[in-house]
C-alpha cells in the first residue's frame, strides 16, 4: 500500500502517470486572458449582480475547457492530430474572452461564435476517434453533442438579448444531459481516463487563477509603492501561498486517491463530478479572491467597501466549500468534512466583517491569519482522520456493489 496525505491506495488502483502535453499548456495561455478579463469585470463593480454575470459567462468557458481536456485525455496520446486540434481551438475561448471584456450585450455574436468554434473542433476530435474505431458509440452522439449544439450557438447570433442567453443555456444543458447518460460508452470513457492527467490539468488551471491574484498584488504595488501598498501586497501574496499550499498539499493527493477508489468501485458519477463540475466552484472562488486582492491594492490605505470584503469572504469560503463537496462526493463522512468546511466558511467571513473600519491591507492581514488558523486545523484533522477514511475507501473499492448502494453514484 502507498500512503498519500493520510490516504492509502493499493497498487491495483494505480495507473501509469501521464503528464500534460506541451500543446495543452500552450492552449491554457488563452485562459490566462479569460481569468484576467473576469477579474477586471468584478473589480469594476464588485456587486452580487456582477458576480452572477461573471459566473454565468465563465461556466461555458470552463465547460469548453474541460471538454477539450477530457477528449485529449482519452485520445491525445493515440492520435497526434488531436494535439493540432487543441491548438486550433484557441480562437474560440479568445473570442469569448474578448466578448466578455467588451460587453456581451454588444458582442454576444462573438461570444456565441467562439463557443460554436470550440464545438466544431471537438466534433473533429471525436470523429477522428470514431473513424479509427477507438470508441464504440453511435454516430448520433458526437453529432448532437457537438454539431447540434454548435448550430444552436451560431443560431443564437440572430436572436436578440436576453432570449439569446436562453439559447446558450439550452445548448450547454444538452451537453450536460448527454454526459449524464449512464450507458456503456460513458462507462468506457471513465475507465480509460487518466486520473493523474486530469488532476494535473485542473491543478494547472488553478495555478492560472492564483497567478492572476499574485499578478494583481505585484502590479498593484508598482502603481502604489507605499507602506500600506506593500503591506497589502505582502498579505495578498500570503493568501495566495496558503491557498496553493492547501490545494496542492492536501486537496490533489486526496482527490487522486479517492478517484482511484471511485473507479475501482464503478462510481463513475463521482469521477465526473469531481473532475468536470466541482472544480468550477474552486476556479470561480479563486477568481473572486483575485479580484478582491486587486481592489484592495487600489485602496490599500483606506477601508474596503462591504461588497469588496464580502467578495473576499465568499472567495475563501467557496474554496473550502468546493473541497468539502469533493470530499463528500468521494465518500468522506459529512460530519468529518464539516469539521473543516464550517470554519472555512465562518472564520474568513468574520475576519472580513470585523475589519470594516480598518484599512484594506489590514483586511487582507486578518484574512491571511484566518487561513493560517484553518491550515493548522486541516493538518490536525488530516493526521487524526486519515486512517479511518482510508479504511472506508478501501472497503468501498473491494465491494463495488456496496459502494453503489451507499449512493455515491
Please give the angle made by the CA atoms of 145, 151 and 153, to the nearest 5 degrees. Answer: 95
Residue 223 CA to chain centroid, in angstroms? 30
- pLDDT, residue 103, reads 86
- pLDDT, residue 105, reads 87
Share of the chain above pLDDT 70, in %: 87
In this structure, what is the dihedral angle of CA atoms 349, 350, 354, 360, given to the nearest 10 degrees? -40
- pLDDT, residue 394, reads 40
Mean pLDDT on 351-371: 92
Q: Which residues of 369-408 are buried (b: 16+ CB within 10 A; e: fewer)?
A: bbbeebbeebeebbeebbeebbebbbebbeebeebeeeeb
**Average pLDDT over all residues of the chain:** 86
- pLDDT, residue 225, reads 92
Does pLDDT of 185 surpass 60? no
Q: Could you report the per-residue pLDDT of 37-57, keeping only the tens digit for each?
A: 999 999 998 889 999 999 999
- pLDDT, residue 216, reads 94
Name the band, by pLDDT with cuts 50, 70 and 90, for residue 256: confident
| Other residues' Cβ atoms within 10 Å of the Cβ of residue 151 | 14
Least confident piece of the model among 54-63, 218-227, 373-382: 373-382
Share of the chain above pLDDT 90, in %: 62
Q: What is the 3-state secondary structure (H, E, C) of the chain?
A: CEEECCEEECHHHCCCCCCCCHHHHHHHHHHHHHHHHHHHHHHHCCCHHHHHHHHHHHHHHHHHHHHHHHHHHHHCCCCCHHHHHHHHCCHHHHHHHHHHHHCHHHHHHHHHHHHHHHHHHHHHHHHHHHHCCCCCCCCHHHHHHHHHHHHHHHHHHHCCCCHHHHHHHHHHHHHHHHHHCCCHHHHHHHHHCCHHHHHHHHHHHHHHHHHHHHHHHHHHHHHCCCHHHHHHHHHHHHHHHHHHHHHHHHHHHHHHHHHHHHHHCCCHHHHHHHHHHHHHHHHHHHHHHHHHHHHHHHCCCCCCCHHHHHHHHHHHHHHHHHHHHHHHHCCCCHHHHHHHHHHHHHHHHHHHHCCCCCCHHHHHHHHHHHHHHHHHHHHHHHHHHHHHHHHHHHHHHHCHHHHHHCCCC
Rounded to 10°, the helix 278-298/306-329 angle is 160
- pLDDT, residue 3, reads 34
Does pLDDT of 383 surpass 80? no
Of 10 and 250, the one with more pLDDT: 250
Cell readout for 53 is: 454575470
- The whole-angstrom separation of Cα 256 and Cα 262 is 10
Name the band, by pLDDT with cuts 50, 70 and 90, for residue 187: low
Task: Note whether 253 and 196 are within 8 A (CB).
Answer: no
Distances (CA, A) of 176 to 171, 182, 276, 326: 9, 12, 10, 19
Name the band, by pLDDT with cuts 50, 70 and 90, for residue 392: very low
241 cis-preceded (ω within 30 degrees of 0): no
β-strand pairing of 2-4 with 7-9: antiparallel
- pLDDT, residue 184, reads 54
Task: Note whether 220 and 43 are within 8 A (CB).
Answer: no
Q: Could you report the per-residue pLDDT of 283-335, keeping only the tens digit for each?
A: 999 999 999 999 999 989 999 999 999 999 999 999 999 999 999 999 889 98
Name the band, by pLDDT with cuts 50, 70 and 90, for residue 406: very low
Burial of 178 (0-12, 13-18, 19+ CB in 10 A): middle
Does pLDDT of 76 surpass 60? yes
Does pLDDT of 12 surpass 50? no
Task: Note whether 392 and 331 are within 8 A (CB).
Answer: yes
Does pLDDT of 405 surpass 50? no
- pLDDT, residue 5, reads 36
- The whole-angstrom separation of Cα 18 and Cα 108 is 38
Mean pLDDT on 388-404: 44
Does pLDDT of 342 surpass 90? yes
Amino acid at each position: 500500500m502507498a500512503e498519500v496525505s493520510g490516504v492509502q491506495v493499493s497498487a491495483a488502483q494505480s495507473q501509469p502517470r501521464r503528464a500534460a502535453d506541451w500543446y495543452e499548456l500552450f492552449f491554457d495561455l488563452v485562459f490566462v486572458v479569460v481569468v484576467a478579463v473576469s477579474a477586471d469585470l468584478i473589480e469594476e463593480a464588485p456587486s452580487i449582480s456582477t458576480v452572477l454575470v461573471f459566473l454565468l459567462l465563465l461556466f461555458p468557458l470552463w465547460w469548453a475547457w474541460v471538454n477539450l481536456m477530457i477528449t485529449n485525455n482519452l485520445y491525445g496520446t493515440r492520435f497526434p492530430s488531436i494535439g493540432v486540434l487543441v491548438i486550433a481551438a484557441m480562437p474560440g475561448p479568445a473570442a469569448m474572452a474578448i466578448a466578455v471584456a467588451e460587453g456581451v450585450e454588444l458582442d454576444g455574436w462573438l461570444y456565441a461564435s467562439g463557443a460554436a468554434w470550440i464545438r466544431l473542433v471537438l466534433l473533429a476530435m471525436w470523429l477522428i476517434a470514431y473513424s479509427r474505431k477507438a470508441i464504440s458509440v453511435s454516430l448520433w452522439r458526437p453529432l448532437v453533442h457537438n454539431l447540434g449544439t454548435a448550430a444552436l450557438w451560431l443560431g443564437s447570433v440572430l436572436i436578440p438579448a436576453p432570449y439569446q442567453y436562453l439559447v446558450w443555456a439550452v445548448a450547454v444543458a444538452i451537453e450536460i444531459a448527454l454526459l449524464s447518460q449512464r450507458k456503456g460508452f460513458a462507462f468506457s470513457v471513465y475507465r480509460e481516463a487518466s486520473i493523474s492527467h486530469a488532476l494535473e490539468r485542473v491543478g494547472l488551471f488553478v495555478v492560472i487563477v492564483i497567478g492572476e491574484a499574485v499578478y494583481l498584488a505585484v502590479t498593484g504595488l508598482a502603481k502604489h509603492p507605499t507602506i500600506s501598498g506593500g503591506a497589502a501586497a505582502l498579505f495578498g501574496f500570503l493568501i495566495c501561498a496558503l491557498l496553493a499550499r492547501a490545494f496542492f498539499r492536501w486537496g490533489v493527493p486526496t482527490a487522486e486517491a479517492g478517484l482511484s477508489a471511485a473507479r475501482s468501485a464503478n462510481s463513475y458519477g463521482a469521477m465526473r463530478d469531481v473532475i468536470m463540475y466541482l472544480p468550477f466552484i474552486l476556479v470561480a472562488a479563486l477568481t473572486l479572491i483575485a479580484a478582491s486582492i486587486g481592489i484592495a491594492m487600489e485602496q490599500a490605505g483606506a477601508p474596503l467597501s462591504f461588497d469588496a470584503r464580502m467578495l473576499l469572504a465568499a472567495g475563501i469560503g467557496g474554496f473550502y466549500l468546493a473541497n468539502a463537496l469533493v470530499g463528500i462526493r468521494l465518500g468522506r463522512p459529512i460530519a468529518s468534512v464539516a469539521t473543516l468546511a464550517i470554519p472555512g466558511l465562518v472564520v474568513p467571513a468574520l475576519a472580513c466583517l470585523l475589519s470594516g473600519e480598518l484599512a484594506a491591507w489590514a483586511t487582507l492581514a486578518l484574512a491571511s491569519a484566518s487561513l493560517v488558523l484553518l491550515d493548522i486545523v486541516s493538518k490536525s484533522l488530516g493526521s487524526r482522520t486519515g486512517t479511518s477514511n482510508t479504511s472506508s475507501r478501501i472497503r468501498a473499492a473491494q465491494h463495488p456493489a456496496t459502494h453503489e448502494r451507499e449512493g455515491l453514484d
